[in-house]
Amino acid sequence: MNTFQQQILHGIPVELPQAKKYDLEINHAPKRKDILSLDEKKLAIRNALRYFDKKHHEVLAKEFAQELKEYGRIYMYRFRPDYDIYARPIQEYPGKTEQAKAIMHMIQNNLNKAVAQHPHELITYGGNGAVFQNWAQYLLTMKYLAEMTDEQTLTIYSGHPMGLFPSNKNAPRVVVTNGMMIPNYSKPDDWERYNALGVTQYGQMTAGSYMYIGPQGIVHGTTITVLNAGRKIAKHGENLAGKLFVTSGLGGMSGAQPKAGNIAGCITVCAEINPKVVATRFGQNWVDEVITDLDILVKRVQKAKENKEVISIAYLGNIVNVWQKFDEASVFIDLGSDQTSLHNPWAGGYYPVGLSYEASNKMMAENPEKFKEKVQESLRLQTTSINKHTEKGTYFFDYGNAFLLEASRAGADIYLDSPTFQNRKNPPQSRGAVGVREFAYSSYVEDIMGPMCFDFGFGPFRWVCTSAKAKDLEKTDAIALEVLTKLKLESPTEIQQQMEDNMQWIKGAQENKLVVGSQARILYADAEGRSQIAEAFNQAIKNGTISAPIVLGRDHHDVSGTDSPFRETSNIYDGSQFTADMAIQNVIGDSFRGATWVSIHNGGGVGWGEVINGGFGMVLDGSEEASKRLQSMLFWDVNNGISRRSWARNDGAVFAIKRAMKKEANLKVTMPNSVATDLLENLF
């Protein structure tokens, strides 16, 4: 057994490892709000010390108190292992079950410093998307995974491994819950308080469920969004050549925008306030040019428009200034959006205009009330400027970052019934939202992802080759393309465009060099596509074409799995967008139909308390059981979401679920009857 394997099996070391230096080369999480009372701080230390032998308490109590003071959280930096963390070939992990080893591969990928946003704080993406709350949880979890058998299940409570419990071969090996709160305790400050106490965490979507595959997932989703947004604004079926897309953020997910803009063929201007982040994306060739001066930016964009260039430009500065400057200089914006981290507005997700990056960081820690005022003022200014552009014809959409929600909370002029919009020549039309005042703009799911993809069952299916071999990934690409090509021949016209886009994507995937971290691929596919591709992989593992197990999964941002009224389920108009039954049903249903692990989270994308989302991981090992599991679970996993969308009367979903019922005799879904509108006229 090598040292890495021995260390995994040791779990939390018996003797204290050397204290670690705070590495300034690494991108660290911002200092969190000082929210705990004195007694609560003592409780946080007691909670943290639970993981350690009493003989270490004196040293660690002081150290953890210092971490809490300096960073607002106890990360237990000292216990960060010395070995490199990355998705190793599956056989390098110690263990008694291939399923648990595959989960270790996925966890280590989420914490790889080439993949994770704040690796030392165990945060994968989105500023606060945590895999674990501290290093003790990581060490203990890896030890349990290495020790467990196929007759046990590990339960993870918001990063904390509660323990191994007897179960059975067909049960999930791991069940994860993240941030599950009693509903009344789910306000942003509750996350600050209970996370600082060490009893909950924000798992985002694929961070706390070990399913993050680097920026590739988001490049694909963003490309599909920009392409379809382009189709939406095209007057004569033209493409995006010479059209301008303005947005913000070059971070974990937002950083995909310039690359996606290039693939979709437009001019992209993406504002980013953090110079380190700009340098990273430029260094990775994810953005073509960097401009720091607004006048130069205007000239450069005008030239790009004249020449119909396909180019992406990072503007180092505040997005609000870009919207304002382009209005003054009469630069027409075709597509507009925003991807600052507004799911986390008060702790570094959004930088207000008029304050430097450094001044903002200082103010949010030292004077959070004043900082909140500045953020809200900035959101009002940004909205006013966006409104001027949309009056001139810009198509603006919310990119799932809670922009509309936070702008409305800031008192910005953003409601559909406001005179600003009602007095326009072509006022925006109501989409039929209930229980809330409707926004003048749509979310990308309402206009694009929902009706064009999710309602038909198309969503971000993904797989990971646990051999860690590029060759295996290449083989899976070829298999997936072969399956899609066959399926396209018999696909109805309604889904031909989706099939076409995805075949293009998989053909270009190798060339676009999208792998960062594990050997993973994403592909938008419907239930049939997912099952058939998975079955073909399982056969290829069985006959040795592929050398090791494959992990299947998906983003939580999908057809099913996520109830989020301002994002994934924003195109549901029967009132049920504020319920979370579907996400819970999904994860329970996945768990007894064969998932290897399942997870359910509060928060993710749009923020703590605003969404419930879940997902799964499934290990294919070439066995007959794996084949049965994938057929049963993938069918349910997608069709559960379609049936809910169909019951909400979404046309695409009605079409898709009827088609699924024709193919599967055991599927019987309750269908909605339509009601004549005039019947409702004089009832009250």
Q: Which residues bind ligand NAD (CB under 6 A)?
A: 117, 125-127, 218, 221-222, 248-254, 256, 271-274, 277, 318-319, 339-343, 349-351, 399-401, 605
In angstroms, the CA 122 to CA 138 distance is 9
- What 3-state class would DSSP assign to 424? coil
Give least dist CB 604 to ligand NAD, A. Answer: 7
Residue 97 CB neighbour total at 10 angstroms? 20
CB of 325 to ligand NAD, least distance (A): 13
Helix (H) or strand (E) holding 469: none
Count of residues in the chain: 684
Q: How far is the CB of 272 from ligand NAD (least distance, A)?
A: 5
Please say whether the beta carbons of 560 and 582 come within 8 A. yes
DSSP state of 31: P
Longest dimension (CA), the chain: 78
> Residues 305, 308, 314, 316: what is their CA dihedral angle, to the nearest 10 degrees?
-20
Q: Which is nearer to ligand NAD, 127 or 641 (CB)?
A: 127
C-beta closer to ligand NAD: residue 153 or 257: 257
DSSP states of 85-117 as a string?
A: PS---GGGS--S-HHHHHHHHHHHHHH-TTT-S
Q: Which residue has the tokens 């959070």?
A: 368
Count of helix runs (H) and strand runs (E) in the chain: 23, 18
Structure tokens at 388: 């001027």
Residues 6+ positions from 222 with CB-CB distance below 8 Å: 253, 256, 257, 259, 260
Q: How far is the CB of 328 from ligand NAD (least distance, A)?
A: 18
Q: Which residues of 549-574 are buried (b: 16+ CB within 10 A; e: fewer)?
A: bbbbbbbbbbbbbbbbbbbbbbbbbe
In the complex, minimum distance from the CB of residue 29 to ligand NAD, in angstroms, rounded to a whole number: 10
**What is the Cα–Cα distance from 95 to 595, expressed in whole angstroms?**
19
Q: Which is nearer to ligand NAD, 127 or 198 (CB)?
A: 127
- Cα distances (Å, whole numbers) of residue 412 to 384, 416, 440: 7, 12, 11
CA 317 from centre of chain: 25
| Min CB(582)–ligand NAD separation in Å | 18
Q: Which is nearer to ligand NAD, 29 or 175 (CB)?
A: 29
Cα–Cα distance measured from residue 572 to residue 652, given in angstroms and rounded to the nearest whole number: 12
Show Cβ contacts of residue 303 under 8 Å, excluding neighbours closer than 6 positions: 309
Least distance CB 617 / ligand NAD (angstroms): 20
Residue with CB nearest ligand NAD? Answer: 251
Query: Which residue is listed with tokens 């209005």?
Result: 327
CA atoms of 288 and 296, how far apart (whole Å): 15
- Comparing CB distances to ligand NAD, the nearer of 195 and 318 is 318
Nearest residue (CB) to ligand NAD, 444 versus 537: 444
CB of 534 to ligand NAD, least distance (A): 24
Smallest separation, CB 317 to ligand NAD (Å): 7
Give min distance, CB of 614 to ligand NAD, in A. Answer: 16
- Rounded Cα distance, 509 and 552, in Å: 18
Q: Which is nearer to ligand NAD, 445 or 598 (CB)?
A: 445
Name the minimum Å distance from CB 76 to ligand NAD: 24
How far apart CA 213 and CA 256 sit, in angstroms, is 13
Its sign, for the CA torsion 24, 134, 131, 515, is positive
- Residue 468 neighbours by CB under 8 Å, 6+ apart: 87, 88, 89, 90, 105, 518, 519
Q: Which is nearer to ligand NAD, 156 or 322 (CB)?
A: 322
- Contact, 195 vs 167, CB < 8 A? no
How far, in Å, are 230, 601, 661 from residue 383 at the CA level? Answer: 22, 31, 45
For ligand NAD, which is the closer residue by CB, 312 or 467?
312
CB-nearer residue toward ligand NAD: 318 or 596? 318
Kind and range of the H or E element at 233? helix 216-233
CB of 102 to ligand NAD, least distance (A): 25
Q: How far is the CB of 368 from ligand NAD (least distance, A)?
A: 16
- Sequence-distant (6+) residues with CB within 8 A of 321 are 271, 294, 353
Nearer to ligand NAD, 102 or 335 (CB): 335
The residue among 129 and 198 lying less far from ligand NAD, judged by its C-beta, is 129
Is 383 within 8 Å of 407 (Cβ atoms)?
yes
Show the tokens assigned to 449. 């992802």
Nearer residue to ligand NAD within complex by CB, 265 or 354: 354
The three-class DSSP label of residue 608 is coil
The nearest distance, CB 262 to ligand NAD, in angstroms, is 15
Cβ nearer to ligand NAD, comparing 89 with 368:
368
**To the nearest whole angstrom, how small is the minimum distance from the Cβ of residue 227 to ligand NAD?**
13
Distance between the two ends of the chain, CA-based, in angstroms? Answer: 76
Residue with Cβ nearer ligand NAD (151 or 328) = 328
- The rounded distance, in Å, linking the Cα atoms of 383 and 395 is 14
- Minimum distance from residue 319 beta carbon to ligand NAD (Å): 4
Nearer to ligand NAD, 198 or 251 (CB): 251
Specify the residue, 348 or 622, whose C-beta has the smaller distance to ligand NAD.
348
Least Å distance between CB 78 and ligand NAD? 27
